Amino acid sequence: RGRRRLHIHLANMWGEDKCSFDDRLKWVDENRSWAEECGTWPMENTRWMDAEEPLQFLAACVALIDPEVASRLPVHADGTANALQWYAALGRDSDGAAAVNMTRSDKPNDPYTDVLAEVSMRVDADCGQGHKVANAVRKHLLRKTLKQTAMTSTYGVTRHGAADQIRSQLKKAGMERDLLGKSSIYLSNHTLEAVGE
């Protein structure tokens, strides 16, 4: 069981954290030889530097070949949207628990993608009504645009703070300056409502 968690952790640190656990284990089987080489000769085999989390990936590579390191290496367990996990647990909300990976599933769920889907539905409906701001934000509607606001909503972010967060993301995405204010307020309202949904 501990070995399994180490292998899943190794795949996660490489960046294979959105696929099923079985697929992550398969990834480790297919890549184990070079990962062990990284753990043995990290200065010669620097492929570990390409990992999403390079140093944590390297530590897991060392743990593959050294049982003592493996016994002390902290491996990540799921902590998807921790505050939402608490709400789901306290409210005995089975749908919410499934959305934040508290129940068994072949593949991890992503609550931020769920929020994006809900917001997209609302924006599309507004686009169909000829809403100008909805049409302006449609092409900028990405998971990363909404993630921070969805995450901080459970920690008490205000509507003003949520709008500032989304404004920052829209600005990075290259939205026209004159549309930033209205667009960020519009999207933050929909995002906060979508989290509640």
What is the percent of the chain where pLDDT is above 70?
A: 99
Is the pLDDT at 168 greater than 90? The verdict is yes
Token reading at 176: 């026209």
pTM of the model as a whole: 0.69
The overall average pLDDT reported for the chain is: 92
Rounded average pLDDT over 163-169: 96
- Split at pLDDT 50, 70, 90, the class of 1 is low
More confident residue, 166 or 107: 166
CB 61 within 8 A of CB 49: no
Question: What are the backbone dihedrals phi and psi of residue 13, each rounded to the nearest 5 degrees, phi first?
Answer: -70, -25
- Is residue 121 helix, strand or coil? helix
Average pLDDT, integer, range 87-113: 89
Query: In the chain, which ranges are continuous DSSP H helix?
Result: 2-14, 21-40, 54-65, 67-72, 82-90, 94-99, 111-128, 132-137, 143-152, 159-172, 177-196
The tens digit of pLDDT for each residue in 25-70 reads 999 999 999 999 999 999 999 999 999 999 999 999 999 999 999 9
- Which residue reads 């996990």 in tokens? 85
Number of Cβ within 10 Å of residue 71's Cβ equals: 10
- For residue 144, give both structure tokens: 């990363």
Please give the radius of gyration of the chain, using alpha carbons only, rounded to the nearest integer. Answer: 21
- Residue 194 to residues 6, 14, 110, 144, 147: CA-CA distances in angstroms? 35, 31, 14, 15, 12
Task: Measure the CA–CA gap between 31 and 182, rounded to whole angstroms.
Answer: 48
- Quickly state the pLDDT bin for 126 (edges 50, 70, 90): very high
What's the mean pLDDT in 122-148? 93
Contacts for 193 with CB less than 8 Å, ≥ 6 apart: 122
